[in-house]
Amino acid sequence: MSWQASASVSEKPATEFDAIVVGAGVGGLYALHRLRGLGLNVGVFEAGGDVGGTWYWNRYPGCRCDVESMEYSYSFSDDLQQEWHWPERYGTQPEILRYVNHVADRFDLRRDIRFDTRVISGHFDAASNHWTLQTDRHGAVSARFCIMATGNLSTPRVPDFPGLQSFAGKWYHTGLWPHEGVDFTGLRVGVIGTGSSGVQSIPLIAKQAKHLHVFQRTANFILPARNAALDAGTEQRQKAEYAERRRAALATPFGIAGHPPPVKSALEATQEERDAAYEAKWAEGGSISFLYAYNDLLLNKAANDTAAEFVRRKIRGLVNDPAVAELLLPRDHPIGTKRLILDTGYYETYNRDNVTLVDARSAPIEEITPAGLRTTEAEYDFDAIVFATGFDAMTGALLDIDLHGAAGASLKDKWADGPRSNLGLMIAGFPNMFLITGPQSPSVKAQMILACEQHTDWIVDCLGYMESHRLVRIETTQAAEDSWVAHNNEVANSTLYPLANSWYMGANIPGKPRIFMPYVGGFDRYKQVCDEIAAKGYEGFTLTAAKTLALEPI
Ligand code: N01
């Protein structure tokens, strides 16, 4: 390719590349594979000790994907999807990590990845149209193009409780779990947080611990996963239909096939019809299926209330102690506006004698003490504390890197009032830097692997276009970015999503700007927009040829 510095990796110093990918999770690995296919010399830099991203770091007990295995997998290679066997309906973390490792080996990806290497900063040089990234292990590295595959939930967050360092026991964050595992047998354990990570780990920790206290600040809506072994017949049938299923997934709002879109409003159904519909969804298991009971559950509060009340009734039926059940009833947000959680035996765990639910809303945690922790009402002694307290989602990993664009301005300044991007793919003022599933793209509101593939395919097509038109620089126009951000906000505000204090809104991080970050207009609509923009020669992007020739925004 014309902007390729030389032909092979071995002939050039390991500090100069055609493209650098930051992150070797599912997005970064696919980006490496595709960029190699363009003939580019690619360097991947990964903070972890191996591939896998989310699935490398999150090793807590019970960690499992909430999207079904046959969907949550790469679609780019039919041989890969035919040969891999998923044993269960939902993949466990070890299974998914084994799969990602298999992909890395099968496509010979590791040789271009530098592990245990964190990217600290990045500066764009407008004269040479190159990025230089500073790493903590391999010095400075540079490339014309930079692809940030840094993940949406990759910056674990421990709340700023005073006294943490004084704690005499051991403490863990679910997103940074020790590789050797943790044995809680006979220990007094405190778990803080009841999001997906807490809900998945609590039933298993409870089985080991002498006593488990769970500190819940906000009750969540939790549905049964109904995980089970994947039977051979289903696997065979789905594999035979894989090409069709993947095509169908691209044309759905969540990027997941097999769930026909609902056509009826919950308010058009009678109470009996609704109960029967919700009961069937509850028995089937899964979150999309439940949200697809009616077409207005995420749009109309009255419709949403019918589903929320059904789940509250179920919780009352599962938990023996009415006072504990009452505390577990979610009441502060519409169902589905925070990530719906799938469980296996979560509510039943509160029927155990060795489990106590503590209301950390009425009595907030004030400090960690040498012996345990203290709330505004009581002190608790623990041998171990588990922080299931989530992530600085969607923007944390990018903002941890000190990025400076064409005019030297920093991303931190640019995003001080919240993230702004065009399509979640590029940021105005940051040429030649692409995001994989950045804010304002469907990202976490779609099947993530499919979303990573769609972004990478768009980027690779774009780089191919640039090569064939002898272009060396691409950046989004400010106007296109402003217009996409406005559209993203308008779509979000037409739904119930902004009513919840969710990590989608940045609400879980004190001081983080409140802006709805994922695009919820539907993966299908989003892909169509991306494809149309590409077909129009990258409308809304400024493309620059080598030397001085600049093509105006189209
Ligand atoms: O994090 P969370 P998570 N005092 O932010 C509480 C994905 N994921 O790691 O709600 C007391 O959801 C906080 O309380 P509140 C999935 O997308 C997927 O569980 O802020 N409590 C909340 O209960 C998921 O949504 C899978 O009031 C405090 C909890 O900590 C996302 O990752 C599995 C507190 C954090 O919940 C994040 O999930 C796991 C404080 N000071 C994760 N600060 C699957 O695929 C925070 N909390 C199934």
Domain boundaries, the chain: 3-155+393-553, 156-220+338-390, 259-318
The pLDDT value given to residue 548: 53
Q: Which atom of ligand 1 is nearest to the CA of 67?
A: 45
391 beta partners: 156
- What's the pTM value of the predicted model, to 2 decimals? 0.95
The pLDDT value given to residue 62: 98
Question: How far apart are the CA of 220 and the centre of ligand 1, in A?
Answer: 10
Tokens of 275: 């109960």
| Sequence-separated (6 or more) residues with CB below 8 Å from residue 78 | 242, 243
Helix (H, G, I), strand (E, B) or coil at 181: coil
The pLDDT value given to residue 6: 39
Query: Which among 335, 363, 392, 338 has a CA at the least distance from the CA of 508?
Result: 392
Mutation pick for ligand 1 pocket among 96, 217, 218 (CB with most ligand atoms within 8 Å) = 217
What class does CATH assign to 3-155+393-553? alpha beta
Question: How far apart are the CA of 123 and the centre of ligand 1, in A?
Answer: 33
Protein residue whose Cα sits closest to atom 28 of ligand 1: 193
Question: How far apart are the CA of 65 and the centre of ligand 1, in A?
Answer: 15
Protein residue whose Cα sits closest to atom 43 of ligand 1: 389
SS3 readout for 97-152: HHHHHHHHHHCCCHHHEECCCCEEEEEEECCCCEEEEEECCCCEEEEEEEEECCCC
| Sequence-separated (6 or more) residues with CB below 8 Å from residue 331 | 219
Question: How far apart are the CA of 308 and the centre of ligand 1, in A?
Answer: 20
CB burial readout 83-94, b (16+ within 10 A) else e:
ebebeebbbbbe
As a whole number of angstroms, the distance between CA 36 and CA 107 comes to 11
Q: What secondary structure letter does DSSP report for 233? A: H
What's the CA angle centered on 174, arms 168 and 175, to 5 degrees? 120
CATH of the domain spanning 156-220+338-390 = 3.50.50.60
Hey, do 3-155+393-553 and 156-220+338-390 end up sharing a CATH topology, with the first three levels equal? yes
Question: How far apart are the CA of 158 and the centre of ligand 1, in A?
Answer: 11
Question: What is the bridge-based pairing of β-strands 130-135 and 140-148?
Answer: antiparallel
Q: To which residue do tokens 């400090």 refer?
A: 367
| Beta strands, E only, 127-228 | 130-135, 140-148, 170-173, 188-192, 211-216, 222-224
What's the CA angle centered on 505, arms 499 and 506, to 5 degrees? 140
The pLDDT value given to residue 14: 77
Residues with CB under 6 Å of ligand 1 are 64-66, 153, 159, 174, 192-198, 200, 215, 217-218, 339, 342, 360, 365, 388-391, 444, 503, 508
Mutation pick for ligand 1 pocket among 64, 93, 197 (CB with most ligand atoms within 8 Å) = 197
Question: How far apart are the CA of 371 and the centre of ligand 1, in A?
Answer: 25
Average pLDDT per run of 10 along the chain, which is 554 residues long?
A: 43 80 98 97 98 98 97 98 97 98 98 97 97 96 98 97 98 98 98 98 98 98 97 94 96 93 96 98 95 97 98 98 98 97 97 98 98 98 98 98 96 98 98 98 97 98 97 98 98 97 96 96 98 98 79 48
Question: How far apart are the CA of 500 and the centre of ligand 1, in A?
Answer: 13
